[in-house]
């Protein structure tokens, strides 16, 4: 398994089978990487507080800096709700990296979208409840905006005998390159946080399976040459 290649289990991280038979979260792997200091109660409590049970779990461990990239879904915090177990889970992730006094929480959504989700009982972490975190909004649009942008791009590509001006105008109007840049900027942010600041990062969007996967995967490719091989890319896609 890929986690073994990263050096797990180790002093700070371990593998758990709490998701055996996919009862904890049916969209996660059956075996998950979690901090050693996170108790079973902490993991189970955090799962109840995260959309679709997608707890904060290890995506990539950077052996050189001891920093980790973790992924999850948005918390069910609403305007004021909190969860002690979820707060403990993030503290455990932060403590698993003794080289840094803080960790980043990267919300890949535009801030206005995340704030709107709070009105629906979801949203994002309240920094007053979580110790030693630095919050960062990335601003990647949701899948519906992406789909519309891609459709416009395809229409531009299907134009018959367009002038260069027509093509470039259509490309700009599609917004596709801006979306690609947003994803790339997020990947670079994660990479610099891990490799240069030696800080761990927790990444999520709404349900944590679209923008989150893109950003974590891109950062993994930038950090680890193994994922630039055919075998490595296959493993990354499977994850």
Show which residues are catalytic. 205
Do 35 and 95 meet the contact criterion of CB atoms below 8 Å apart? yes
Find out whether 205 is annotated in a ligand binding site: yes
Task: Round to whole Å and give the CA distance between 177 and 189.
Answer: 18
140 assigned binding-site residue: no
45 labelled as ligand-binding? no
Question: Does 142 belong to an annotated binding site?
Answer: yes
Distance CA 120, CA 123 (A): 8
Which residues does residue 204 pair with via DSSP β-bridges, in sequence order? 107
166 is annotated as contributing to ligand binding = no
Q: What is the per-residue burial (b if ≥16 Cβ within 10 Å, else e) of 155-171?
A: ebeeeeeeeeeeeeebe
CA-nearest of 59, 55, 76 to 13 is 59
Report whether 206 belongs to an annotated binding site. yes
Any known ligand binding at 210?
yes
Is residue 17 annotated as involved in ligand binding? no
Residue list for the binding site: 142-143, 205-211
Residue list for the binding site for substrate: 142-143, 205-211
């Amino acid at each position: 398994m890929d986690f073994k290649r990263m050096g797990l289990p180790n002093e700070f991280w371990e593998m758990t089978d709490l998701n055996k038979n996919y009862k904890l979260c049916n969209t996660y792997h059956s075996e998950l990487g979690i901090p050693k200091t996170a108790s079973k109660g902490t993991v189970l409590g955090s799962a109840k507080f995260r959309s679709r049970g997608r707890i904060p779990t290890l995506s990539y461990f950077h052996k050189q800096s001891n920093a980790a990239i973790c992924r999850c879904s948005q918390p069910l915090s609403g305007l004021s709700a909190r969860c002690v177990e979820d707060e403990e889970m993030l503290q455990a992730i932060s403590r698993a990296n003794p080289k840094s006094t803080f960790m980043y929480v990267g919300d890949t959504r535009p801030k206005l979208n995340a704030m709107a989700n709070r009105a629906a009982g979801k949203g994002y972490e309240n920094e007053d409840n979580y110790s030693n975190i630095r919050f960062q909004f990335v601003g990647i649009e949701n899948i519906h905006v992406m789909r519309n942008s891609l459709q416009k791009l395809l229409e531009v590509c299907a134009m018959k005998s367009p002038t260069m001006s027509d093509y470039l105008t259509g490309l700009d109007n599609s917004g596709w390159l801006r979306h690609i840049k947003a994803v790339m900027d997020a990947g670079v942010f994660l990479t610099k946080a891990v490799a240069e600041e030696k800080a761990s990062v927790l990444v999520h969007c709404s349900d944590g399976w679209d923008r989150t996967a893109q950003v974590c995967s891109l950062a993994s490719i930038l950090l680890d040459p193994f994922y630039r091989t055919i075998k490595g890319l296959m493993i990354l896609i499977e994850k």
